């Protein structure tokens, strides 16, 4: 009979591309992974890895076995979720990631609530942009990720993941105090189109969104300065170096020299969680969703968010 942990080791090597990367993900040594694979080769009577330069590649037999291992590990996860659901207890471990402003604006209250209500649940939290966290949920490195998308640019969700809305986050624009429009009650984004901007690093969801949004109003974006943290962006705004889009969730203190002005045509992002379909029945997923929703500040709804898919599961 094939050993489950040896199948998991082979599956990790196939997923992450090397024995050392698999060892990092499985939190074991490279020697332990190599030993598991050697035992699996003896069990199957098949060679599973071949040298490929400084690395390894999977043989045809290994590729076949990985296909079955993917289904087997998915069934094991579903069985574990069903057992937890049958027991009805919020227990075990929940590996969770969230983007930076959700870490600051949602997670402290949500984690405090989970610890008080479900002391047998251990939550492990990481800070990650959705571009990194969603693939990790798909691979099984994370149980859940708190992510976001904007009302004019929905985020595609891979097949096999379910989602649940936590709330909506309205964005304003941060302007230098000396900006000609800083004293206005509200502005249109197109009035600022030719200005220099400050945003997060290229490839992050916020930077990509700002680029897309400015181009949608026929303005080629001029992003002069890039910083991941909103506090750093605001410091640059205060120095008169450009404007920044400032979501209200987890907003830090606004420094001197910065004026926050609402946008006449509202821009908002939907904050939601994603998890694997196989884990949908876990009480821990449902408990985490309840805690996150309770922690979310009430900023109303975004009626123009209709392009996004409906919530699924964990209701």
pTM of the model: 0.71
* One domain, residues 122 and 199: yes
Q: Does residue 118 share a domain with residue 71?
A: no
Residue 207 pLDDT:
83
Q: What is the pLDDT of residue 200?
A: 86
Beta-carbon contacts of 51 under 8 Å, excluding residues fewer than 6 positions away, are none
Q: Work out the widest C-alpha separation in the chain, in whole angstroms.
A: 76
- Taking a C-beta distance cutoff of 8 angstroms, is the pair 229, 149 a contact? no
Looking at residue 78, its pLDDT comes to 77
Q: What pLDDT shows up at residue 181?
A: 96
Same domain, 151 and 285: yes
Are residues 301 and 168 in contact, defined by beta-carbon separation less than 8 angstroms? yes
One domain, residues 62 and 134: no
Per the structure, how many domains does the chain have? 2
Which residues form the domain of 71?
4-85
User: Which residue in 267, 266, 280, 279 sits closest to 311, CA to CA?
Assistant: 280
pLDDT tens string for the chain (315 positions)? 778 888 888 888 888 788 888 888 787 888 888 888 888 888 888 888 888 777 788 888 888 888 888 788 778 777 777 777 656 789 889 999 999 889 999 999 999 999 999 999 999 999 998 988 999 998 888 999 999 988 777 888 898 899 999 999 999 999 999 999 999 999 998 899 889 999 988 777 788 888 888 888 888 888 889 998 888 999 999 999 999 999 899 788 899 999 999 999 888 889 999 999 988 889 999 999 999 999 998 765 554 444 344 566 555
Nearest to 140 by CA among 10, 276, 30: 276
How many other CB atoms are found less than 10 A from the CB of residue 292?
28
CA gap 269, 177 in Å, rounded: 26
d(CA 213, CA 219): 9
Residue 38: CATH number of its domain: 1.10.10.10
The number of angstroms, rounded, from the C-alpha of 15 to the middle of its chain's C-alpha atoms is 19
CATH number of the domain within which 115 lies: 3.40.190.290
Indicate the residue among 85, 119, 139 that finishes a domain.
85
The answer to whether residues 295 and 117 touch, using CB atoms and an 8 Å cutoff, is no
CA distance linking residue 126 with residue 218, whole number of Å: 37
């Amino acid at each position: 009979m094939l050993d489950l942990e040896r199948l998991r080791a082979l599956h990790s090597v196939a997923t992450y591309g090397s024995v050392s990367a698999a060892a990092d993900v499985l939190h074991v040594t490279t020697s332990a992974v190599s030993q598991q694979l050697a035992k699996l080769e003896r069990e199957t009577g098949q060679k599973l890895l071949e040298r490929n330069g400084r690395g390894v590649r999977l043989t045809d037999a290994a590729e076949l076995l990985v296909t079955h291992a993917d289904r087997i590990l998915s069934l094991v996860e579903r069985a574990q979720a069903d057992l937890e659901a049958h027991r009805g207890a919020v227990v075990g471990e929940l590996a969770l990631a969230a983007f930076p402003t959700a870490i600051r604006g949602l997670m402290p209250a949500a984690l405090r609530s989970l610890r008080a209500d479900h002391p047998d649940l251990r939550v492990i939290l990481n800070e990650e942009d959705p571009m990194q966290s969603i693939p990790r949920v798909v691979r099984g490195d994370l149980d859940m990720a708190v992510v976001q998308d904007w009302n004019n640019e929905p985020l595609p969700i891979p097949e096999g993941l379910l989602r649940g809305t936590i709330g909506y986050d309205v964005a304003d624009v941060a302007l230098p105090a000396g900006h000609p429009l800083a004293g206005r009650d509200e502005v249109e984004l197109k009035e600022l189109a030719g200005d220099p901007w400050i945003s997060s690093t290229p490839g992050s969801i916020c930077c990509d969104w700002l680029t897309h949004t400015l181009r949608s109003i026929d303005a080629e974006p001029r992003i002069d300065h890039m910083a991941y943290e909103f506090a750093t962006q605001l410091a640059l705004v205060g120095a008169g170096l450009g404007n920044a889009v400032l979501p209200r969730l987890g907003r830090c203190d606004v420094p001197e020299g910065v004026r926050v002005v609402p946008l006449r045509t509202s821009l908002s992002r939907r904050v939601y969680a994603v998890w694997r379909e196989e884990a949908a029945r876990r009480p821990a997923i449902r408990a985490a969703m309840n805690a996150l929703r309770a922690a979310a500040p009430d900023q109303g709804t975004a009626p123009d968010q209709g392009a996004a898919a409906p919530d699924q599961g964990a209701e």
